Amino acid sequence: MKLKKTTSFPHDAFEHPLVHDFYHGISREEAESRIKEMIRQTSVPTE
C-alpha cells in the first residue's frame, strides 16, 4: 500500500504574521534580517 503525501497550507483568512508572509511573501533582505535577529537572540555570548 502506497501512502499519499498530504500537503496542508494555512487558511488565508487566518490573521497571523506568518500566514501573511506565506501568502504575500517577504523580500530576501527581510528574510536575512529576521534570520540574523533570531541567531542574535539565541546565541550564547562568548567570553
H/E stretch holding 41: helix 28-42
Report CA Rg, the chain: 17
Task: Decide if 2 is inside a domain.
Answer: no
User: How many domains does the structure of the chain reveal?
Assistant: 1
Q: Contact, 7 vs 22, CB < 8 A?
A: no
* DSSP code, position 29: H
pLDDT tens-digit series, residues 1-47? 777 777 887 787 888 888 888 889 999 999 999 999 999 999 877 66
Question: How far is it, in rounded angstroms, from Cα 19 to Cα 22?
Answer: 5
Task: Decide if 20 is inside a domain.
Answer: yes
pTM of the model: 0.58
pLDDT for position 31: 93
Question: How far is it, in rounded angstroms, from Cα 47 to Cα 43?
Answer: 12
Task: Give the structural domain span for 28.
Answer: 12-42
